[in-house]
Chain A
């Protein structure tokens, strides 16, 4: 029982270290930023499309409709 708890704890610490490692942090950060970019400039969800409509039409390389 104690052994399994210990191994779980170690696995958790390992996962924590991995999560806070530079490559994973960089990937997480990039994903978060790019998700925001996609939502604002490229999402077809109608309310978002409408809200960002003018911005989309006034930015090069953004296909609006």
Chain B
């Protein structure tokens, strides 16, 4: 009986070193390289096989949402392709949030019954970026201090003389806070108006030609030009011979999905069309901005007439989705606790001092 093949999955960086995609990073985050290896024996070429590969994002955590809550618990990728002859298939995927991703791998033989289909569910754990914890701690400390300072000053007003219209310190405190708030809002709004506009430009849906003729092929492109964050977008292309109109299989398709404004890679993979000439995948977009699909079609090593690879691009405009109010409110609730705790602490200390003063008199 022949030895059943095994599948192994490796990531680069290693699993415990993977960080989620960092939006607005100073240096663009590199996508994670996921390598799937189908192996029979160390010295033997694996059987021709087809893989169905899916990635599910981590389930939502209501009490501690991530910065991309809309894509939590959704499908990030769903693709089917024949494996390369050496059984090693690689893809690059940006992982948007922390948590445990579920990877579903299903490998079937291309030649019937050459091995039993393999189904595996794997998990991939992604740690949160430490910077976020640091910034949270800084903000919490700032809010505690603001609350505490405010409590000390406001609590001191109980010692005001009767007939005094408004204690100077209160007026000063309120005025200063109001001025800070006004300045902050002014700066934000003025910069928003006059700074070079960050363009999450919503380009008009392109009326692109759904066909590409090149090197004797016709590539028919699905009409998708728009997608929405959190909803996996179905993308498909059909490759056929321009003369015979028959589907072509002995080619390789290299796909790179790039965020068009900032140039980072959301997804990149190698694939082959199926027997009917179709290459289909579902992709979850997590950034609401235009994306560019860069596609290169090249002959595979077994093809008799080797042609020069050709490239084309397609634009997909991704509609952003604001996180639900409840998701935003939970973070706000935490910040409020820090401020109120500081405020109550300040008032309490001031109250104790006042009681001491009175008992000393």
Q: Do A and B come from one complex?
A: yes
Mark A residues whose CB is within 8 Å of B: 16, 20, 22, 25-26, 28-30, 32-42, 44, 46-48, 50-65
Asked if residues A63 and B143 are in contact (CB atoms below 8 Å), the reply is no
Q: What is the predominant secondary structure among interface residues of chain A facing chain B? A: helix
The reply on B229 being an interface residue by CB < 8 A is yes
Grouping DSSP codes into helix (H, G, I), strand (E, B) and loop, the B interface class, with mixed when no group exceeds half, is helix
List, in ascending order, chain A residues with CB within 8 A of B328's CB: 42, 62-63
Chain B residues with CB under 8 Å of A51's CB are 188, 191-192, 195
A-B contact pairs, 26 of them (CB 8 A): A16-B165, A16-B166, A22-B154, A25-B154, A25-B170, A25-B174, A28-B174, A29-B177, A33-B146, A33-B147, A33-B181, A33-B339, A34-B332, A36-B185, A37-B143, A42-B329, A47-B189, A51-B195, A52-B188, A58-B135, A59-B135, A59-B139, A60-B64, A64-B68, A65-B67, A65-B322
Stretch binding the partner chain, chosen from B82-90, B126-134, B275-283:
B126-134
Chain B interface, number of residues (Cβ within 8 angstroms): 68
Inter-chain CA distance A30–B334, complex, in Å, is: 14
Q: Check B192–A50 contact: CB distance below 8 A.
A: yes
**Min CB gap B129→A, angstroms:** 8
Q: Flag B176-209 by CB within 8 Å of A: 1 or 0 each.
A: 0110110011001101110100101000000000
Chain B interface (Cβ within 8 Å of chain A)? 22-24, 64-70, 128-129, 131-133, 135-136, 139, 143, 146-147, 150-151, 154-155, 157-158, 160, 165-167, 170, 173-174, 177-178, 180-181, 184-185, 188-189, 191-193, 195, 198, 200, 229, 287-288, 320-323, 327-332, 334-336, 339-340, 343, 347
Q: A32-B174, A54-B23 are in contact. List 6 more A-B contacts (CB 8 A).
A: A26-B151, A34-B332, A46-B192, A50-B192, A58-B135, A62-B67
